[in-house]
A = this chain, B = another copy of it.
Amino acid sequence: MTKTQITLVQIDNYGPWTTTPEPRREVDLQTLQSRLYADVSQLVGNREGYAFFGRFDNMVTVTNGLGRSAHELIQESIANRYPVTASMSVAVGPTPVEALGTASDRLQDAGSAQDSDRRRILRGETLAEADRSTEDIQIAHFDVDDATGKYTDQLNEFDTFIRIEQGYAELMRYMRRAHDSLAFFVGGDNVITVCSDVDEAGYDDAVDHVEDAVGVELRVGVGRARTAQGAGMDAKHALEECRENGSDVELAW
């Protein structure tokens, strides 16, 4: 049974900040958002977690292994180095969607994302060591079968991008609806999904669904471990096996 600890990281009052006193240069906002995400990725990754950029002002991280003080350190590091602060809300759930739902509720209870008085909230509970196991996290790493040959080396880049986006949009809704799982596009033709207890048949169905719905052919490697880093690396290796075997689904266990 999965037991996912999700931390929602939300930049405080970001919308207003980007337009006060005047709208800020877009290239600077992009640089700020990307570098803040890169730092969160390193801070969380330093302790075996995973971070997804999502909407950039709202980032979703998998933080099994990070306790309260690790969260405080991340929050303080951001506040010391950026012109904005971030609020963090942690929750544990039997499915990733449930954990993120609880984390979202907790943060919303503390105040609006655009409430100028709501700063640096840190709420929630983290998993106790005694409650952790090697089956807590399931990560599925999807990519598009031969994206380079079919798309990147053939089409106008935007048409390649549209196909990848359509495939992602379809997969994200399906995994959320059918499996309470969170799928994130991570660049190239890759989507990493934080899953509940999905079995091989479940992944076969997901791949079939996306191919039927939008014509994009996916394959997937899946890993399971105590931490996101552990599960994610196993998933990457399983995906390599898909490449070698020509299979659509490979589970690392």
A interface residues with partner B (beta carbon < 8 Å): 8, 14-15, 19, 23-35, 37-39, 41-47, 49-51, 53-58, 60, 73, 76-77, 80-83, 97, 100-101, 103-104, 108, 112-114, 148, 152-162, 164-166, 168-169, 172-173, 176, 182, 186-189, 192, 229, 232-233, 236-237, 240
Residues A60 and B158 in contact in the complex (CB < 8 Å), given A26-B50, A27-B45, A38-B31: yes
Closest partner residue, chain B, to A111 (CB atom): B153
Q: What's the minimum C-beta distance from A242 to chain B, rounded to whole angstroms? A: 12
Residues of chain B lying within 8 A (CB to CB) of residue A176: 158-159, 162
- The distance in angstroms between the C-alpha atoms of A58 and B32, with both chains bound, is 20
Name the prevailing secondary structure of the A interface residues: helix
Residues of chain B lying within 8 A (CB to CB) of residue A169: 165-166, 169
B25 A155 Cβ-Cβ under 8 A? no
B8, B15, B164: the one contacting A188 at CB < 8 Å is: B15
Q: What's the minimum C-beta distance from A77 to chain B, rounded to whole angstroms? A: 6
B153 A113 Cβ-Cβ under 8 A? yes
Residues of chain B lying within 8 A (CB to CB) of residue A157: 8, 54, 58, 60, 100, 103-104
Known A161-B172, A169-B169; further 14 A-B contacts with Cβ < 8 A: A14-B188, A26-B192, A27-B44, A30-B38, A30-B53, A35-B38, A38-B38, A46-B46, A46-B73, A60-B158, A100-B158, A103-B157, A104-B155, A162-B172
B19, B29, B32, B51: the one contacting A27 at CB < 8 Å is: B51
Closest partner residue, chain B, to A188 (CB atom): B57
Residues A34 and B32 in contact in the complex (CB < 8 Å), given A54-B161, A80-B83, A166-B169: no
A42 B45 Cβ-Cβ under 8 A? no
B46 A41 Cβ-Cβ under 8 A? no
Residues A182 and B154 in contact in the complex (CB < 8 Å), given A25-B76, A31-B41, A172-B165: no
- The distance in angstroms between the C-alpha atoms of A46 and B69, with both chains bound, is 11
B155 A80 Cβ-Cβ under 8 A? no
Residues of chain B lying within 8 A (CB to CB) of residue A45: 25-28, 31
Residues A233 and B30 in contact in the complex (CB < 8 Å), given A148-B112, A187-B57: no
- The distance in angstroms between the C-alpha atoms of A15 and B166, with both chains bound, is 21
- The distance in angstroms between the C-alpha atoms of A81 and B24, with both chains bound, is 10
Residues of chain B lying within 8 A (CB to CB) of residue A162: 172-173, 176
Residues of chain B lying within 8 A (CB to CB) of residue A15: 148, 188
A113 B148 Cβ-Cβ under 8 A? yes
